Structure 1
Amino acid sequence: MSFFNKVLASVGIGAATVDTKLERDQVMPGEEIKGVVEIRGGNTEQKIDDIYLTVNTQYVKESDDHKMNVTATIDRIRLATAFTVSANERREIPFSFILPIDTPVSMGKTRVWVATGLDIKNAVDPADKDFLQVRPSKLMEAVLEAVSALGFRIREVECEQASYRLRQRLPFIQEFEFVPTSGAFRGRLDELELVYLPISAATADLHFQIDRKARGLGGFLAEALEMDESNIRISVSMDDIPVLTQKLQSIIQQYS
């Protein structure tokens, strides 16, 4: 019977299960996440080689003119070394970790989740998935509010494969696509794309792509040749927040 149970456990029937309980699911990049992993033994004793958490998201990757969704691991946290869980045993492992500052926020199509896995040799590894609501940091929120104050509305937010120019630790960037709906830039710009790259909790690089609206024959030719786009990079910090709207307005005006 014991051998039969082991065979079943190896294909996931009657095997150990895992359930992660987060203290809270709303968090900002750079904040601490706490919780407990609950492991319940199955019908037979099993050796757990490893137990880990991963923070994940998906991004769009292009290959041979085709787009595909790819899962990316933002962080991996090992919680325990090898141990044995007895049949029907219940064990809890508390954890805490800092959410990386370059974690994308939960806006638009972006989803972020914590996955918990048990590494069990010669068996199906049980896993658990818990979604996070990642809110913008104070600096990112100030940047988004400043762009909104200039009359722009967010049209789309999506994680995309990072170009060589924007590639940092992760293989993707989160892009915010805005359209002007009011204010001085309505009728002057088609869209504004923003990539927020945090340097620290208090500083970030902003990469803007400003797409000017075609005006006249020359404008239409420039648009056809993709000469109507300007790429701009600026650095901002928490000290800029009181004047952020004016700072962004001045920069965007130069290229609109």
Structure 2
Amino acid sequence: MALFNKALASIGIGNAKVDTKLEKAKYTAGDVIRGIVEVKGGNVAQDVDSIYVAVMTTYERETDDRKVTDEAVVIKEKLNEPFTINAGETREFPLEMTLPHETPVTKGKTRVWVATGLDIKQAVDPSDKDFIEVQPTVMAEEVLDGVRSLGFRLREVECQHARLTSYPFVQEFEFVPVTGAYAGKLDELEVTFLQQSKDEVNVLLQVDKRARGLGGFLSEAMGTDETNVRLRIKRQELSQVRSKLDETIRRFA
């Protein structure tokens, strides 16, 4: 019977199970995630090489002229050294990991989850998936509020494939002007947070001018109507965010 149970466990039947119980489901980028990882033994004793916990998200990329969705690891940590979980035994392991400041915000199409897994040799690795809500950092929220205050409305948020960044993606916030000085002048404004910390944020603004006249239509057709500009904003400059955004956008509108 023991051999039979081992054979079943090797294909995932009667195998050990893992369940992550988070302290809460709503976080701000930069917060500490706390909780308990519960491992329950199956029908037979099994050697667990490690418990891993990862914060995951998805992003879009283009391949062969079509869009595909990929998964990306935001942060991944190993919780323990190898151990044996006996049949019917329950063990608990404390979880504490810090969400990077660049963790995507769960707006629009963006989803973020905590993935937990057990590495068990010669068996199907048990796993668990817990979706969480992630809010912008204080500095990021100030930038987004500054854009809104200039008459822009958030239209779409999504993670897109990117190179030469810390992650294989960046999160883009796409705004359209609906009131104020930029209504009728811009088609859209894209805001991307390239790097963040508790003390500063690096922002990429893509200013997309509305076509006006033949020259404007030609520029739009050639893709030269878009201007990319970087801004570095420090915590002590938060009170000046709106004016700094306005000054920058106005130069290229």
| Partner residue in 2 for 1:226 | 223
Shift of 1:94: 0.7
CA distance in structure 2 between the aligned counterparts of 1:199 and 1:104, rounded to whole angstroms: 11
CA distance in structure 1 between the aligned counterparts of 2:235 and 2:99, rounded to whole angstroms: 20
Structure 2 residue 167 is the aligned partner of structure 1 residue 170: yes
Shift of 1:225: 1.4
| Partner residue in 1 for 2:22 | 22
Once the two structures are superposed, residues 109-163 of structure 1 have per-residue CA deviations (whole angstroms, 9 ceiling, x without a partner) of 1111110000010100000001111110000000000000011111110001114
Give the % identical residues. 50
| 1:47-86 superposed matches below 5 A | 47-86=47-86
CA distance in structure 1 between the aligned counterparts of 2:142 and 2:197, rounded to whole angstroms: 15
Shift of 1:198: 2.6
Residue in structure 1 matching 2:186, options 180, 185, 189: 189
Amino acid at match of 2:108: G
| Partner residue in 2 for 1:95 | 95
Once the two structures are superposed, residues 76-118 of structure 1 have per-residue CA deviations (whole angstroms, 9 ceiling, x without a partner) of 1100111100111011001211111111111111111110000
CA distance in structure 1 between the aligned counterparts of 2:138 and 2:231, rounded to whole angstroms: 18
| Partner residue in 1 for 2:252 | 255
Aligned with 2:13: secondary structure?
A: coil
| Partner residue in 1 for 2:41 | 41
CA distance in structure 1 between the aligned counterparts of 2:36 and 2:124, rounded to whole angstroms: 22
Structure 2 residue 195 is the aligned partner of structure 1 residue 198: yes
Q: CA RMSD in A?
A: 0.9
Aligned with 2:106: secondary structure?
A: coil
Which 4+ stretches in 1 moved above 3 angstroms? none
| Partner residue in 2 for 1:151 | 151
Shift of 1:226: 1.3
CA distance in structure 2 between the aligned counterparts of 1:187 and 1:206, rounded to whole angstroms: 24
TM-score by length of 1: 0.97
| Partner residue in 2 for 1:246 | 243
Aligned with 2:231: secondary structure?
A: strand
CA distance in structure 1 between the aligned counterparts of 2:156 and 2:172, rounded to whole angstroms: 8
CA distance in structure 2 between the aligned counterparts of 1:80 and 1:218, rounded to whole angstroms: 63
Aligned with 1:168: secondary structure?
A: coil
Aligned with 1:206: secondary structure?
A: strand
| Partner residue in 1 for 2:177 | 180
Equivalenced residue count is 253
TM-score by length of 2: 0.98
Shift of 1:199: 3.7
Once the two structures are superposed, residues 36-55 of structure 1 have per-residue CA deviations (whole angstroms, 9 ceiling, x without a partner) of 00111111111111111011
CA distance in structure 2 between the aligned counterparts of 1:226 and 1:98, rounded to whole angstroms: 40
Shift of 1:28: 1.4
Unaligned ranges ≥5, structure 2: none
Report the more deviating stretch, 240-249 or 13-22. 240-249
| Partner residue in 2 for 1:208 | 205
Aligned with 1:88: secondary structure?
A: coil
CA distance in structure 2 between the aligned counterparts of 1:238 and 1:159, rounded to whole angstroms: 25
Shift of 1:64: 2.0
Unaligned ranges ≥5, structure 1: none
CA distance in structure 2 between the aligned counterparts of 1:87 and 1:186, rounded to whole angstroms: 66
